[in-house]
Structure 1
Amino acid sequence: MEIKLLKLKQKILSQLENVKRPEVLRELEIKYLGRKGELTKILRSLADLSAAEKKTLGQLANDIKVELAD
């Protein structure tokens, strides 16, 4: 799961480099951070993990979310 999160982060960052219009940025925000977004789905799936995994992966996912939101 950690690898999946890091790959998703890289994918998003590479797509952000190519953004030239605000509407494209908004589409990416919805795609990854929206209610049905990819990162949101991963955060929801943390409920199935052990407490230690939740803590580690939850922190990583939240760090990614904060970094991307900026």
Structure 2
Amino acid sequence: MAITPDGKQALSASRDTTLKLWDLATGEVVASFGSDGGLDCCAIAPDGVRVVAGDRSGRVYFLRLEGLGTGET
């Protein structure tokens, strides 16, 4: 799990193959990404936009949180 730099959202990696972005004020899922394998880790860059996640097979996913309520457009 990782928290965005502004503290408003959390990113969770799960062995159910999903990466979810949560709104911490409402507890709702803002966005979801599916992978081919169970996700073991995730991190958010200090800019609050770039994300990296890793799955159980060794794949690494690079994502951008743009236009998802993160303050970026």
> TM-score, normalized by length of structure 1?
0.24
Structure 2 length normalisation: TM-score?
0.23
Greater fraction helix = 1
Higher relative contact order (CA 8 A, sep 6+): 1
Structure ranking higher in strand proportion: 2
